[in-house]
Structure 1
Amino acid sequence: MSLQRHKNDEVRLVLEQAARPVVPSDLLVRATERGARQMRRRRALRRVWWVIGTLVVIAFLVWASIVHPWQAPPADFTPPVEGF
């Protein structure tokens, strides 16, 4: 028997004899509930951010349609009219 195989067998024996931790019987139920709660929260936050983003876009479009920021501002004075 090689040294590596002997070490593997010893490790396997130690792991098999080790006491296994006690797992609560309702662990699956609690984990499932927690995961579902996290998913609901994330879904709600995602919806809130979509609503906020949509409102920002609508507000920008309303502002842009009223102010017309793409047009040049009116001149402060009018040029003299000649030949009229």
Structure 2
Amino acid sequence: MAVIRELEIKLNDWEARYVLESLSKEMERLKTINTQSEDEDEAADAGNDFMEISSLYENVSKNAVEIFGEQILNFGREQL
């Protein structure tokens, strides 16, 4: 049986926003590979990774919105 270990971290608002933005960008990159790659293995790996990262994104964003509000998901560079 595998032992699942956990890591707990504390983030302030700007740190949480950068983590969420990075996850969002990685999800887009993986989605592009999944839909455009001619290599079936690469496309499948990207699709699997996308599903894992999207689950992480959902978990982090849910918690971040509860603490910081919906604006935490605004990744624009204009002043909030």
Greater fraction of residues in helix: 2
Which of these two proteins has the greater Rg computed from alpha carbons?
A: 1
TM range (shorter): 0.3 to 0.5
Q: TM-score, normalised by structure 1?
A: 0.32
